[in-house]
């Protein structure tokens, strides 16, 4: 699972005074993702947790949070077919929430699973066959209530379908006006190069945070070489970096933290110690540990746009304000000292761990 023409690409509908067509002003600074014209606010919003993985959702609350995000200057909203478990519920929620300002925002969604196949120990089967991509795209357009998708991601690399076929199909959808930009998720260097050779990849989405650092060695250098933007999902360690955590056994079975390795005995205590040290560092700057974690990501490059997920308008405002935080070299060095290699515990069970 994972925790993105005219209209929306014109600096997301802003005029020279920095005020958009809805009269809003301010908000996170605009960042470019890739070299094809995609621009978004520095902090986006992931919507997975509004319908899955973190307990029962609240649709009115989710819509209110998305609308509040827009008021605060958020322009990138991330959903996926998977987040509705094949029902389209998450995309429908996003579509209803943004309908009054659709032209001012970027909607990213994802394909890549066979939602009609029974789940096994590894979750849903993968399916990135060209005909399936087109089928899911039409469903997503209908669920979102829009005639174009800004960013269409392959959710997970399908080893049975050449990435050239995937990139070529999305390129066709772009030529048809149904999609604006090509995105990949959890793709490694070779896949990125091969896809980019067929059609320019605008953005890669992969887990990245002070807790999860695997992309730093091999993936980020290729992203920078090819001029691809980077969208970290789970930038707050699936909630661990908010500091509002409890041991795995205290979460309900439908909450992924009940089985996440980082919440298990031993790892939980080590990670909690790191959070306390990060919280102490944040306090010296008068910010929350959440803002510290997001500011750390933004400091990794101007091509990075994290998409923290939240159901809380208050937490949302705190997240967005992280775009105004400046971390010094000493701050960054202290974060590295506290978490030199990231969190204790794996980010996924071995059976569903993406391989690059």
Q: Tell me whether residue 54 is one of the annotated catalytic residues.
A: no
- Dist. CA 180–CA 152, nearest whole Å: 8
- Coil, strand or helix at 77: strand
CB under 8 Å, gap of 24 or more: what pairs does 262-266 form? 262/211, 262/237, 262/238, 262/343, 262/344, 262/345, 262/346, 262/347, 263/345, 264/345, 266/344
Smallest CA-to-CA distance from 294 within 206, 233, 228, 356 is with: 233
Which sign does the torsion angle of CA 245, 249, 251, 256 carry?
Answer: positive
CB hemisphere CA count around 28 (13 angstroms): 32
- Single out the catalytic residue among 54, 70, 83, 208: 83
The 8-class DSSP code of residue 95 comes to H
Bridge partners of 181, per DSSP, are 151
Helices 267-284, 329-338: axis angle to 10 degrees equals 160
Distance CA 223, CA 107 (A): 21
- Give the closest residue to 149 by CA, choosing from 109, 185, 90, 205: 109
Give the C-alpha separation, 191 to 346, whole Å.
23
Q: Please name the residue that has the structure tokens 């997301």.
A: 12
Sequence-distant (6+) residues with CB within 8 A of 345 are 260, 261, 262, 263, 264, 267, 271
CB-side neighbour CA atoms (13 Å) of 169: 21
CA atoms within 13 A on the CB side of 141: 14
Active site residues: 83
């Amino acid at each position: 699972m994972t925790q993105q023409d005219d209209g929306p690409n014109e600096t997301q509908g802003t005029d020279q005074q920095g005020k958009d067509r809805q009269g809003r002003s301010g908000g996170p600074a605009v960042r470019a993702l890739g070299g094809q014209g995609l621009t978004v606010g520095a902090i986006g919003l992931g919507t997975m947790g509004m319908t899955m993985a973190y307990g029962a959702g609240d649709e009115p609350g989710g819509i209110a949070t998305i609308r509040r995000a827009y008021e605060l200057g958020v322009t990138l909203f991330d959903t996926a077919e998977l987040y509705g478990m094949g029902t389209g519920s998450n995309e429908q929620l996003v579509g209803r929430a943004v309908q009054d300002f659709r032209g001012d925002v970027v909607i990213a969604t994802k394909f890549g699973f066979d939602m009609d196949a029974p789940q096994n120990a590894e979750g849903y089967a993968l399916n990135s066959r060209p005909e399936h991509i087109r089928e899911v795209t039409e469903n997503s357009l209908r669920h979102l209530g829009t005639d174009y998708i800004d960013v269409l991601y392959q959710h997970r690399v399908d080893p049975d379908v050449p990435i050239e076929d995937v990139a070529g199909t999305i390129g066709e959808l772009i030529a048809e006006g149904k999609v604006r930009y090509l995105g990949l998720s959890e793709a490694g260097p070779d896949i990125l190069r091969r896809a980019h050779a067929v059609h320019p990849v605008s953005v890669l989405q992969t887990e990245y945070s002070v807790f999860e650092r695997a992309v730093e060695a091999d993936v980020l250098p290729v992203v920078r070489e090819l001029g691809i933007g980077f969208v970290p999902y789970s930038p707050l360690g699936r909630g661990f970096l908010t500091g509002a955590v409890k041991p795995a056994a205290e979460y309900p079975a439908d909450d992924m933290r009940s089985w996440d390795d980082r919440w298990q005995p031993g790892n939980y205590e080590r990670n909690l110690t790191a959070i306390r040290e990060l919280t102490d560092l944040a306090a010296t700057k008068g910010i929350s540990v959440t803002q510290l974690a997001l500011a750390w990501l933004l400091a990794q490059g101007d091509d990075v746009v994290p998409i923290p997920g939240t159901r809380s308008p208050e937490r949302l405002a705190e997240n967005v304000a992280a775009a105004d935080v400046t971390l010094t070299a000493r701050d960054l060095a202290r974060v590295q000292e506290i978490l030199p290699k990231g969190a204790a515990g794996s980010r996924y069970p071995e059976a569903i761990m993406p391989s690059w």
